[in-house]
Amino acid sequence: MNSDPLFINKVVGSILTAGLIAMVAGFIADLAYHPKMLDKPAYAIGGNAPAATTTAAAPAGPEPIVGLLASADAAAGEKSFKKCKACHGFKKGGPNKVGPNLWNVVGGSRAAVAGFKYSAAIKDMGGKWGFADLNAFLYKPKAFMKGTKMSFAGMKKAQDRANLVRFLRDKSDSPIALP
Ligand code: HEC
């Protein structure tokens, strides 16, 4: 046997050291060849809220149409109305279909057409159909009015909604002023 009293300590020590070096080397190699990107910055620099939080909290709402209405194209809006006409007419005194007649709807009270059986959702909402409401409703009816009977997926393009609202706004004896 070896006479060095520290022999065992030295052997164990060198095994541990070798293991440690191998681990560290492996870790460095791993970092070098497979760098892990952080999803978010580890800490925010400057401002109070990290940018990621602001993005997540932003509502996925429709683009406003107020700025587009004055120059919107009512004739193009009439063409887009073919998406609505299975369910809606727009002539004064015209009949209700699956949906109510839309004469005088822009600026008019919600759920105001006589003889149409509205959902509780629209009656409970009350108020008037202003430009901003119509924009949100036509963008995604069920998001603007949970429980509405109107089964329509929505119009995603702001210009299309502006053209359509401009067209409908003229379907009145006294159209409301454009914004
Ligand atoms: C599949 C049938 C259907 C289609 C398509 C449809 N609607 Fe409707 N719409 C309805 C129904 C039903 C209601 C009544 C909603 C309720 O009672 O909740 C309604 C209500 C409305 C109202 C509210 C009317 C009021 O008196 O307050 C507006 C405005 C409207 N629709 C516009 C449109 C426009 C513009 C389009 C085309 C882009 C369209 N709708 C497409 C069925 C439809």
Question: pLDDT digits over 167-177, tens only?
Answer: 999 999 999 99
Q: pLDDT band for 42, please (50, 70, 90 cuts).
A: low
For residue 1, pLDDT over 90 is answered with: no
Buried b (16+ CB within 10 A) or exposed e, 56-90: eeeeeebebbeebbeebbeebbbebbebbeebbbb
Across 17-31, 87-101, 124-138, least confident range: 17-31
Instruction: State if residue 106 touches ligand 1 by the CB under 6 angstroms criterion.
Output: no
For residue 87, pLDDT over 70 is answered with: yes
Q: Which residue has the CA at smallest separation from atom 34 of ligand 1?
A: 84
For residue 110, pLDDT over 60 is answered with: yes
Q: What is the pLDDT of residue 4?
A: 76
Residue 95 falls in which region: left (phi positive, over 0), alpha (psi -120 to 50) or beta: beta
Average pLDDT score over residue span 101-128 = 98
Q: Please give the distance, rounded to the nearest whole angstrom, from the Cα atom of residue 13 to the centre of ligand 1.
A: 80
Q: What is the pLDDT of residue 57?
A: 56
Q: What is the pLDDT of residue 114?
A: 96
91 or 44, higher pLDDT: 91
Q: What is the pLDDT of residue 74?
A: 98
Q: pLDDT band for 163, please (50, 70, 90 cuts).
A: very high
Q: Please give the distance, rounded to the nearest whole angstrom, from the Cα atom of residue 54 to the centre of ligand 1.
A: 34
Instruction: State if residue 105 touches ligand 1 by the CB under 6 angstroms criterion.
Output: yes
For residue 9, pLDDT over 80 is answered with: no
Testing ligand 1's pocket by substitution, the residue of 65, 78, 84, 166 carrying the most ligand atoms inside 8 A of its CB is: 84
Q: What is the pLDDT of residue 43?
A: 58
